Structure formats: C-alpha cells, structure tokens
Amino acid sequence: MALQARQFFLDVQARQFVSGANSSLPITNPVFFEEDVEAIELYFLQPSTTAGRVYDYLDLSAATVKFAVGTTSPAALQTAWSAISTSVVSTITGVANGGGGSDEVQRISFSPKPTSGSYVIELPARDVTVASVTAGIFTCSTPHGLFDGQAVTLTGFTTPTGFTNGLAYYVTGRTSQTFQAAVTAGGAAIATATASSGGTAQLSKISTGSIAHNASPSTVQAAISAVSASASVTGVAGESYTLTFNNNSGGIDLPLVALAGNTLAAAPGLSANVSFDTANVASLISAGTTSVNLEIEISEGAVRQTFRTSATLSGDLIATSSPSPLPTVTASSFQLQDSNGDLWVISVTPSGELQLAQI
C-alpha cells in the first residue's frame, strides 16, 4: 500500500503524546480532514532502563482502546482495533559474486525494522578444493579463505601419507592459496603430509555470537571477525547490512550467509481505519468549530488512562461523498417538532410530492 498510516506514540507513564520512540518531545497539532478515512497506528511506550534508548514498546493488544476526535463528545470515534504484526522478515541477497579477483558482497536486510530480539549469522559449510599435497603443503588453485586454527575434514585424497581421509585437522601456516595441517589446534604442522592427488578440505558451518536487533555495522563486523572471517560491514543499524568479504576471505565465491536463533520482533501496536466522514465532523466544521481535542482512552480491567492533545478539523477542498452515517433502513416518513412543541409528519407520495400533516 502506497499510502502510509499516521502514527501516534503514547508515553503511558507521563500520560502524554510524544514525537516517537526515540523522542519525548510532544507532538504538534494534528489536522484531520472532514471526508478522510485515515489508517491510524497507535504505539504505547514506557521509559527505557537501557542506556541510549528513550523508550521501550509495550504490547497493549489485549487492552480496550478508544480513539475520539471532537469537543464535548466524539465527532469521530474508533473502538475496534487490530494488533499490528510483530513478525520481521529477514532477506539475504547476493550483491556481487566473489572469485576471479572480485570480493563476495552480500546484504542482510530486515522488514519492518526490529525493535527487540537478536540473531546469529551463520557462515555455511563449504568445500575447499586442494590441487596437491607435497611436503606438508596443501596447495589450492585459487584463494581458499581458510584461517589458522579452523578445523577442516580432509577427504578424497589418493594414497595420503601423514594424514588420514575422513579425519579433522587444524589449519596452520596458511597463505592465500596454501595451508598446512596439524593434529591439534595450534599444534605443529604435519611435515610428512603428502598425497598422489588432490582432494577436499571440508569446512563446517561457523556461527557468530548473538547480535542485537539494533547492532551497528561495526558491531556486526566484529562478530564476523571473531569467528575467523574477514568482512567489512556497512549499512543502517537494525535495517540493512552490506557484507564485503575481503582480505583473507576475499576473492572467493562464497555461499550466502544464513541467520539462526532469530528472535527479532517489530514494534507492537494497534491499527484501524478511522473515518472522519461523519455528520458530527461536518456539523462542527460548518459551525466554524475547528479546534478540537484528540483523546485516546486505554482500559485494562479497572484501570483506565486517558491521553489528550489538541487537534484541528478541516473541510476538504475536494468533495468526495455525503457525510455518514447514512440510515441503514429507508424510512417512509419522519417527524419534526416546531417551536411550540407540536409534532408534524413529513412523507412523500409515489410521484415525489412531499406531504405535511400535524399530529
């Protein structure tokens, strides 16, 4: 939907409308137009105890919420609301394929922007093709992207000496296209490692530590570096991150990363389409009453809170429809009372003539 909802943020402790989840400044006077039907979203906030954060979101989807605009009584009223989905969709795309001298570029994006939760980045398992093994040196035809200390399973080698197919060894003495193998992490390289043909070094999946929903690009970069991978990370915290694999991880065609342990959630809130196309709104505007109140009432059991701020009503330059509500049943007549208190019945004949009779 191209049209965006109007959002209102309510500080439930100070009991006031504020500018947003990151600002305690009061809102400016909102203007509502006579014949509009507006998508309205309500978000409920409480002061945060987390450093650097102004508010935390509250989930009040189980509360009774009323929204009204008017003077002494509602001219527009909304009492039915739908809970806004807190689901966050994560998308991982390849921006540029690595290999042939180019660095792999991938992007992680979230929609909508999460307001809580965390995740880990998984660097998928992959196979490194080894062309030959001589005098303890495993040689690859292209950059392998392995790091010292990483465990790899060596397999597919013909007549291996000094190592055994199917067992895990630890990378040591790595260069861009070569590495050596050790029996233990940080141990001495197997100098006698040889084979009559190449094979495969299988690298298992690697997961970062937990990354917060609003982590900065530099924090995501540090999390990747901590698990023996090299990438520069740019982007917007909590929205999207571009990962450029470089240095020891550069020049390699890498599989897309994945997310795991995902507990990300978007802001909880309530939404409704609120109609200002009412007879009462039209009446106030025609009477010249445009300065009104916006009032929101929240009830949880016996506890009730009311939030109020000033608002403005405005007529539309473009007339779109007649004010509602319209009668649900078409009447054949109706009554009017004159200044003396006498009642009159007004009806219409089949030919369209109005008839007036005193009761």
Supply the pLDDT for residue 165.
98
DSSP 8-class letter at 102: B
* DSSP state letters, 241-301: EEEEE-GGGTT--PPPPEEES---B----EEEEEE--BHHHHHHHHTT--EEEEEEEEEET
Strand partners, 133: 138, 195
Q: For residues 90 and 100, what is the distance between their CA atoms, to the nearest angstrom? A: 29
Name the phi and psi angles at 222, rounded to 5.
Answer: -65, -35
- On whether residue 56 sits in a domain, the answer given is yes
Work out the angle at residue 25's Cα, subtended by the Cα atoms of residues 23 and 28, and round it to the nearest 5 degrees: 120
Pair 108, 257: CB distance under 8 Å: yes
- On whether residue 219 sits in a domain, the answer given is yes
Q: What is the pLDDT of residues 270-283, one digit of tens each?
A: 999 999 999 999 99
Comparing 327 with 73, the larger pLDDT belongs to 73
Task: Please name the helix (run of DSSP H) or strand (run of DSSP E) that holds residue 225, with its range, or none.
Answer: helix 217-225
Final residue in a domain of this structure, among 161, 194, 227: 194
Comparing 343 with 8, the larger pLDDT belongs to 8
Taking the alpha carbons at both ends of the chain, their separation in whole angstroms is 54
Dihedral over alpha carbons 108, 111, 117, 122 (to 10 degrees): -20
Pair 42, 61: CB distance under 8 Å: no
Supply the pLDDT for residue 351.
76
72: exposed, middle or buried (Cβ count in 10 Å: 0-12, 13-18, 19+): exposed
Q: Locate tokens 């530590």: which residue?
A: 209
Instruction: Select from 267, 269, 279, 281 the least CA-distant residue to 68.
Output: 281
- Residue 169 shares a structural domain with residue 308: no
Q: What is the pLDDT of residues 278-317, one digit of tens each?
A: 999 999 999 999 999 999 999 999 999 999 999 999 998 8
- On whether residue 147 sits in a domain, the answer given is yes
- Residue 73 shares a structural domain with residue 106: no
- Residue 281 shares a structural domain with residue 342: no
- Structural tokens at position 19: 């500018």
- Residue 214 shares a structural domain with residue 108: yes
- Residue 99 shares a structural domain with residue 59: no
- On whether residue 108 sits in a domain, the answer given is yes
Expressed as residue numbers, the domain containing 72 is 6-84+267-314
Residue 280's CB: how many other CB atoms inside 10 A? Answer: 18
- On whether residue 325 sits in a domain, the answer given is no
- On whether residue 324 sits in a domain, the answer given is no
Would you say the pTM of this structure is higher than 0.75?
yes
CA distances from 50 to 11, 63, 359 (A): 16, 26, 72
Instruction: Select from 107, 117, 347, 152 the least CA-distant residue to 242.
Output: 107
- Structural tokens at position 316: 């539309």
Final residue in a domain of this structure, among 243, 260, 277: 260
Residue 288's CB: how many other CB atoms inside 10 A? Answer: 7
Check whether the bond before 268 is cis (ω within 30° of 0). Answer: no
- Residue 136 shares a structural domain with residue 120: no
Strand partners, 9: 18, 43
- On whether residue 335 sits in a domain, the answer given is yes
Q: Which residues contact 71 (CB under 8 A, 6 or more apart)?
A: 284, 289, 292, 293
- Please state, rounded to an integer, the average pLDDT across all residues of the chain: 92
Q: How many residues does the chain have?
A: 359
Total tally of structural domains belonging to the chain: 4
pLDDT tier for residue 342 given thresholds of 50, 70 and 90: low
Pair 109, 240: CB distance under 8 Å: yes
Q: What is the pLDDT of residues 85-105, one digit of tens each?
A: 999 999 999 999 998 889 999
DSSP 8-class letter at 219: H
- Residue 25 shares a structural domain with residue 79: yes
pLDDT at 327 over 90: no
- Residue 110 shares a structural domain with residue 20: no
- CATH number for the domain including 23? 2.60.40
pLDDT tier for residue 334 given thresholds of 50, 70 and 90: low
- Residue 52 shares a structural domain with residue 184: no
Q: What is the pLDDT of residues 176-232, one digit of tens each?
A: 999 999 999 999 999 999 999 999 999 999 999 999 999 999 999 999 999 988 999
Work out the angle at residue 272's Cα, subtended by the Cα atoms of residues 302 and 327, and round it to the nearest 5 degrees: 95
- Residue 120 shares a structural domain with residue 221: yes
Final residue in a domain of this structure, among 260, 276, 296: 260
Pair 248, 254: CB distance under 8 Å: no
- Residue 216 shares a structural domain with residue 241: yes
Task: Read off the pLDDT of each residue in 250-263 and give the average, rounded to a whole number.
Answer: 95
